[in-house]
Structure 1
């Protein structure tokens, strides 16, 4: 029996892959430890989407190789997007001390691969495995879990490397998704979060063309699930059926994550995306009319080649008019291999950072104002941890884990993984503060 530890970098989709690999290895007799310094074998599941992710991955690998150099561990394996993007040959020249390299979708052969590495062999690099149903070892709190409904992406955004790294859209069958959701709920999961590169594109590659809305209608029937939410929805994948389903099913969180990226028509065209500022403003207005309590999140990109001050100002004006509840903004990274690499960069890195700060200054004002409008309202809050005596933090339906703010709750006899009715008493720029009213939710189990 050998101790293994997994470091998972990047997005929740990567986390699901890491949990699957841990489940397979645990079933194969390995013992999992959360501490890399205690492990005999360290696995690092990397992200390689943009330059900062690549730097983080390399820094993490170098840190873990120090454990090997000091004799704490005997084997370091690197897998995931970084490997699929650059390949074993290039990476092994840079980091020859790494014992093995695996690409994405490594679950089907990770056990055999690791055994051969330990036997002193040098198995060939494997890029893609065959999709299937595998055990998972959850690394999230017991009451929350991600469920990946599709792999890859068939969109053609010029700045994005995902289709190159993970391939075209490969949706899981509805039966596979439903079975895994049932297993998670039976294990105590109360909040289920569906993820894919574009959850709205789900099913377009399958016979019969099942839809995200159709999947959601079945998942909400599973006993034990309290909240169901889905992340990463291309705005052009949004359908009337999906909105109607959100209106009709109380377990579906009124929360949408719509990465807009930009609103200038010319910039969007160069990005390989559609729409303009009027399209997106109308879309947001329609959504808020259909779902008045909707929490809306987006991601924006600044400094794309050709973004002059006028087109940036259009994006700035859009943020002011749209009033998103949640917003993230990041500078464009000129990534070799992406189609946008053919365009000459026109915005300096310093100017990109400046524009990102301008957007976030505006968003902070919007966030504080929208939070203040919630003072006096009652929210159902999933309690997650204690901050001290009778003070807790948790999340409402408006908050996705790890990326959104929290609700600070004052109350007695609360426990992580339970739902509490909370009256909002104060509003900070991002977080809300409230008191436990002592009332049990009508939907409590």
Structure 2
């Protein structure tokens, strides 16, 4: 039997997919990248916002067609959409044989066994939930390039932002044991990984539930000791838990990228309160000033939501002024998505779709100009670049990232006259030109 897996959504979901692939491989089952030749297809879905749900449904239907056009006999739906709409999916998608929830990834071998025996079912609770034994790290088959990997340090979320369904889909915040995380990291580095990207719904909260204190600074200090590791990149930091100890870790640990991913969502105190965010605008401004003062060369990435219920034109203009004043290196913008089951979905003063789209494009346009200006200001700067590939027609033109760019969400650096170099190597590059989403440089 051959099994194919399609992973949608965020890097945290990708780690879950890699775990399932590892467990499938342990069963000596063949894994294929071609769904047309798979006997069983697993779709690990995202259900965070409306666009993600649409992508997940479309992918499920596309994969379901292989039951007619390919060799596929069984279809398993998992991930956040499966957790959220299990009954509806099984009822309305006849091609689906099983829908399993976000607790059940490590039960995938059991699920496959039941499905191939002809059962059609929903499973939302893990067989291992009642086990008291210490968790054993599940095997993973990396789907990222062999020089980088995601390191997930926690499951779930306790923040309960009013617009977000994740706590209901993923449960409360549960840190992985400290030694387990270190063991996973060491195993990845031993395989040749040079960049570890630390992820969780909230990385800054790490350790609070298990140890009664925030242990991300300590974790970064231990990861920094791993021989062979070059970069440690931390994503999904919340401002309320960005302590002085964590700032010191970013500033002093040589392998920790001076790159802070800090979702802020808005600048209006009234809306921040309605979103159930912990910080005020002035508190965020104070943190940003401290980060820039204490971490030389820092790059700050953030995200914002426009069109949240009750957002007035004055609120939006306040957000624009904040973005203009802070001049973030990179920022993602989302139009508010009214998600059933969230507090914000029932708030009055829902914003018209057209207004949300206009504000989205206006803020994106502003940030694009800021990013272009920031990249122009980097001309003549010398950066260390992780090579990720080369142009098919011109092998001397390679592309990669510096510490200032995270994979998939930030831009690339294109390097001319790079010479003989392989993906995963680090080279010194002088920036020649900066554009909105990319830069061009030459190897030195």
TM > 0.5 between the two? yes
Q: What is the aligned partner in structure 1 of residue 400 from structure 2? A: 394
Q: Distance in 2 between matches of 1:155 and 1:350?
A: 30
- Please state how far the C-alpha of 1:120 moved relative to its aligned partner: 1.2
- 1:110 corresponds to: 108
Which of these residues, 230, 233, 256, is aligned with residue 234 of structure 2? 230
1:9-55: CA deviation from partner (whole Å, max 9, x where unpaired): 00000000000000000111111111111211110000011111111
CA-CA distance at 1:121 after TM superposition: 2.5
- Tell which deviates more after alignment, 263-272 or 33-42: 33-42
Cα displacement (A) at 1:124: 4.7
Matches within 5 A, 1:66-77: 66-77=65-76
Partner of 1:209: 213
TM-score by length of 2: 0.96
Distance 1:255 1:284 in 2: 13
Aligned residues: 435
Q: Where do 1:54-133 residues align within 5 Å?
A: 54-87=53-86, 89-128=87-126, 129-130=128-129, 132-133=136-137
Match of 1:429 among 416, 436, 441: 436
**For residues 316-353 of structure 1, what are the alpha-carbon distances to aligned partners after superposition, in whole Å with 9 as ceiling and x for unaligned?**
00000010001000110111101111112431111101
What is the deviation of 1:413? 1.0
Q: CA deviation at 1:60?
A: 0.3
Contact preservation (8 Å) 1:246, 1:253 = yes
Q: Residue 5 of structure 1 contacts residue 34 of structure 1 at CA under 8 Å; is this kept in 2?
A: yes
Say whether residues 1:14 and 2:13 are aligned partners. yes
Match of 2:45 in 1: 46
1:269 counterpart = 2:273:
yes
Contact (CA 8 Å) 1:421, 1:436: kept in 2 or not?
yes
What whole-Å deviation, never above 9, does each CA across 1:238-293 have from its counterpart, x for those lacking one?
01001101111110000010000011011011110133333222221211111131
> What are the within-5 Å matches in structure 2 for residues 158-177 of structure 1?
158-177=162-181
CA distance in 2, matches of 1:204, 1:192: 22
Deviation at 1:209, TM superposition (A): 2.9
Partner Cα separation in structure 1 for residue 379 and residue 322 of structure 2: 26
C-alpha deviation, 1:429, in angstroms: 1.3
Matched-pair contact (CA < 8 Å) for 2:204–2:214:
no
The answer (yes or no) to whether the contact 1:174–1:210 under 8 Å persists in 2 is no
SS of the aligned residue for 1:268 comes to helix
Query: How far 1:108 sits from its partner (Å)?
Result: 2.5
Paired with 2:204 and 2:212, the residues of 1 have a C-alpha distance of: 16
Counterpart in 1 of 2:372?
368
Give the Å deviation of 1:62: 0.4
TM-score by length of 1: 0.96
Find the aligned partners of 1:172 and 1:297 in 2 and give their Cα distance. 26
Cα distance in 2 between the residues matched to 1:210 and 1:429: 37
Q: Considering only aligned residues, what root-mean-square deviation do their CA atoms show, in Å?
A: 1.2
SS in structure 2 of the partner of residue 206 of structure 1: helix
Once the two structures are TM-superposed, the CA of residue 123 in structure 1 deviates from its matched residue by 4.8
Gaps of 5+ in 1: 438-445
- Distance in 1 (CA, whole Å) between partners of 2:250 and 2:278 is 25
Q: Find the aligned partners of 1:244 and 1:110 in 2 and give their Cα distance.
A: 41
Q: C-alpha separation between the residues in 2 aligned to 1:108 and 1:367?
A: 41
> 5+ unaligned residues in a row in structure 2: which ranges?
130-134
Counterpart for residue 190 of structure 1: 194
Contact 2:386 2:401 in 1 (8 A): yes
Residue 204 (structure 2) aligns with: 200
Partner residue in 2 for 1:157: 161
